[in-house]
Structure 1
Amino acid sequence: MDDETGRNRAVVAAYVAAMNAGDFAAMRALFTEDAEIQGVTGVGGLDFALGVWRQLHDGLGMELTVEEMAAEGACVAVRYTERGRWTGPFMARGEPTGRSYALVAMEWFELRDGRIARRWGARDAAAQARQLGFRPEDGGKTA
């Protein structure tokens, strides 16, 4: 593994640690100012994504476990097991059920000058909805 690849893996590992801790200031420092974030809820900048990530952390107690990480140069891909329990407000989905969930999630990162410039995320939101008991009549989105 070359130095750039190792450094980029470390940045993504720091992102995962900050996400799990709910340390959004640390997360902000890991991204470029013009970062592009793409996920289940859409595409936007870091402020857009942080709003979604706060709800995942605060409402669902989301925690990511890295199952595999692959990196080459400026690109890092991660496969996770995502777990949580619905205890607080989340995406206008009605009252929390207290139920737990586990699902597969993946992220692809492109880094520039030691910071995350682009991030794509994919997660099994349908499995999350089933496990947590989201009701269609409550509206809202999944993350």
Structure 2
Amino acid sequence: MSEENKRVVLDYVDAFNRGDLDGVCQAFAPDALIYGVLGWGGIEKTKPIWRDLIDSFAIRLHVEAMIAEGDEVSVRYVEHGRSLNSFRGGPVTEQGYEITAMEWFIIRNGKIHKRWGARDTATMFWQMGLTIP
């Protein structure tokens, strides 16, 4: 089961890296809860946050480590991107960033049921010459 759960998370990462928001959302159960730095809630609450991040920063996640046990999967990434479009009305600097990010997932019935994300948003914005809105 652990290997199957890793595949669910890798499919989510692949969709995120392609900027495929529908594919990202399809990895989640309809009643999933998603906890992140910029907010938390279900898919409908989180989808606009992800759209802003994907469109503004062209985020790419590179899996450095993944551990799975039972229905839980933990991932450490190198995350990188670039200020390409305005984020929540802020300026565009075209500067890039690279940070370490981590996510923890609970997988049930082949879908992500819960997801927690932790990243150093302050350093991300600082590297791009932006202030956190």
User: 2:129 maps to what in 1?
Assistant: 133
Q: TM-score, normalised by structure 1?
A: 0.89
Percent identity reads: 43
Inter-partner Cα distance in structure 1 for 2:29 and 2:64: 26
Q: Kindly state the Cα deviation for residue 135 of structure 1 after the two structures are TM-superposed.
A: 3.3
Q: TM-score, normalised by structure 2?
A: 0.95
- The one-letter code sitting in structure 1 at the alignment partner of 2:72 is C
* The structure with more radius of gyration: 1
Q: Deviations over 1:40-96 (max 9, x none)?
A: 01211112222111111111011000000000110000000110010102133x220
How many residues are treated as equivalent by the alignment? 133
Deviating more after overlay: 66-75 vs 48-57: 48-57
Segments of structure 2 that go 5 or more residues without pairing to the other structure are: none
Q: Kindly state the Cα deviation for residue 22 of structure 1 after the two structures are TM-superposed.
A: 1.0
Deviating more after overlay: 20-29 vs 72-81: 20-29
Segments of structure 1 that go 5 or more residues without pairing to the other structure are: none
Three-state SS of the structure 2 residue aligned to 1:98 is coil
Inter-partner Cα distance in structure 1 for 2:53 and 2:39: 15
Q: 4+ runs of 1 displaced by more than 4 Å?
A: none
User: 1:95 maps to what in 2?
Assistant: 91
User: 2:114 maps to what in 1?
Assistant: 118
User: 1:46 maps to what in 2?
Assistant: 43
1:61 corresponds to 2:58: yes
